[in-house]
Amino acid sequence: MNASEPTQFGKYWLTDRIAVGGMAELYRGKISGDEGFEKAVAVKKILPHLAAEQDAVNYFIDEARLAALLQHPNIAQIYDFGRLEESYFIAMEYLFGKDLKTVLATAEARNMPLSLENALHIASRISSGLDYAHNMKDLQGNLLNIIHRDVSPQNIFITYDGQVKIIDFGIAKAASRITSTRSGVIKGKVAYMSPEQAEGREVDHRADIFSVGILIYEMVTGRFMYEGDAMEILSRAREAQYVRPERIVRDLPECVVLMLDMALARDTRTRYASCGEMLSDLEDCIYHLNFRPSDQKLAQYMKSLFEGDFASEEASMTRALRRVMPTDSALDAAGDRPPAYQETMILDRDAAARRPKRWLWVGLVLVLAMVAGAGYWHFYRPFTQEKDGPVVVHVPIDAAPRNTAEPSRTAVVKSIPSDTKEGKETGDAPVSQAPDPRIAQGLQKADQYLRAWNLTSPAGRNAYDAYRRVLKLDPDNAEALKGLKKIGGRYADLADKELKRGNPDKAMGYIKTGLGVDAANRRLWVLREKINLQTEQARQKKIQSLLIKANDRIASLRLTKPPRDNALYYFREVQKIDPDNAEARRGRRKIADRYAALAEKEMNRFRYDDARRFIDTGLKVDPRHKQLLALKTEINKRLDQRVMRSLKNIFN
């Protein structure tokens, strides 16, 4: 693409191609909306020569479906997915930074190694994102069993503002995937595989844990874990043969060594059971090393490491995203082209596995003939029996508005079966078909339901179901498409009203239902982002308030009493909101430390009953506190010795 000539791609403007791979190409772009709404995006398009390859399309759809489900700060966010002008695409958040592979290579070349603090911080963010993905459930509460299977430096992205993002779920494994990997087929990058993955055996989420261990190893040592040619690397990966990290970095802290031993265990039974467990040890290690990592510190390192690149890339991005308005000549030329359209897909589990075949058109003609001659029962049945399948909505894309008062041109979409040709060069008059009376009846019912505000319920007797039945008969029916947009608009109105009333949960319910009907509704997406932002701000504000109270109670030695107004109580309240909150975990450790100090003091005074009381209370706060456990063993030993002395005196 010529960087000086942005190209319109549906509702997106693509400025330049920034990467190309074996299956897809990635473009930088922008989406603009009403009232100055603008957002930079990255648009991933399947390569043109693969658009007709079913396996490639299935992999692409799988990636979109999985990534769209994952909403986590450390996973690249998907905004949109569909098909436009015979090209499948994914629109995602634009990440401004470098992948970890580039970071490590540049750090070595410029002799600016990644600090242990930043390395552990990056690892903790990766673990947090993967733990979320591994525990993701579908809308029915079933575990999706998502495994990334390609956790490598190329798929870890670090932005210039210090955010860590996991990208590319292209070969991720999940229970709901259309495509599957045959037994014995290796997927992923060999140098970052777990032993079981390198052997082509069945894998679970612990394969990702091993891969994260390799990333940590390379970040803290500055060396590849496996070296050699491809076959040597594969052989070592299968046996997990590598030089121990403490032999490379002599002063490597023990907590890092122990953590790597757990993550890189060849036997999955002795490996970390979950990324959550590894995350807990990472945060404990960070705490004991007195590190205070943050996105800001990582951002400072990134901007320092890529000082020249950052300035030039920022200027290039700014220039590119400003060039998104077409010239008048481009608009005039666009008027002569066939109108573009986008297919927004509402996917179900088996949607992409079901593809229309040419022989179905012949079957459809025969079925319609049978329906026409079979009477009322055949006429009514299609409205009462629903078949499972995806709803594919052809959304016309309006031409870009001019800066004049000239009305905008609206594209007209015509659906043509793959085995017919439009505009045959013959003298025959076009064959006209009588309008299907079921379409008129369906639209009439849908309009009645819409007026009654029966938008998506009750089942079978609502506007959404009625419009869907019409679209199954005529996929390009303009009235039905317009009706779906009306339903989405109604839900946007309802959500907006509830948000103004201070009911964000109810508003979010309307938004989710509305997006299920009209996935491209801009108002619903804007309202969703607004609620998410407000919810997160309120959540963080609540957490900070509780942490302040908890630390105040520690300072005044109100550790576990009085009830509902002590440090432990407030830290527990924080963990109810954020179970993985590191500050709360450290706070509970502080409380346990205080009880350990009190217990040791009482033991030195030979007040064993008081010491035991402090120990028991401290262990309720932190059952794994090493000092308290050691003191408990010591006090039991002393009490046993005292009992033995007493018995000896009695018998003597």
The CA distance from 197 to 148, in Å, is 12
Instruction: Tell me the backbone φ, ψ of residue 229, rounded to 5 degrees.
Output: -80, 180
Residue in the block written with tokens 């009333």: 501
Residue 327 tokens read as 């010239």
CA 80 to chain centre: 13
Q: Is 32 exposed, middle or buried (0-12, 13-18, 19+ CB in 10 A)?
A: middle
Give the three-class secondary structure for 565: coil
Whether the Cβ atoms of residue 365 and residue 417 lie closer than 8 Å to each other: no
Question: Which uninterrupted H or E stretch holds 9?
Answer: strand 7-9
Whether the Cβ atoms of residue 98 and residue 158 lie closer than 8 Å to each other: yes
The CA distance from 314 to 297, in Å, is 20
What is the distance in angstroms between the CA of the first residue and the CA of the last residue of the chain?
100
Instruction: Tell me the backbone φ, ψ of residue 15, rounded to 5 degrees.
Output: -95, -45
Residue in the block written with tokens 């989420």: 205
The CA distance from 38 to 30, in Å, is 7
Is 552 considered catalytic here?
A: no
The CA distance from 173 to 597, in Å, is 49
624-632: long-range pairs with CB below 8 Å, 24+: 625/589, 625/592, 625/593, 625/596, 627/592, 627/593, 627/596, 628/592, 628/595, 628/596, 628/599, 631/596, 631/599, 631/600, 631/603
Query: What is the greatest pairwise CA distance in the chain?
Result: 127
Q: Helix count (H) and strand count (E) of the chain?
A: 23, 11
Active-site choice (62, 80, 131, 150): 150
The CA distance from 136 to 1, in Å, is 38
Report the interhelical angle of 463-473 vs 437-451 (nearest 10°): 160
Question: Which uninterrupted H or E stretch holds 441?
Answer: helix 437-451
Whether the Cβ atoms of residue 488 and residue 513 lie closer than 8 Å to each other: no
Comparing CA positions, the residue from 69, 104, 76 lying closest to residue 91 is 76
The CA distance from 127 to 297, in Å, is 19
Residue in the block written with tokens 């003091």: 601
Active site residues: 150
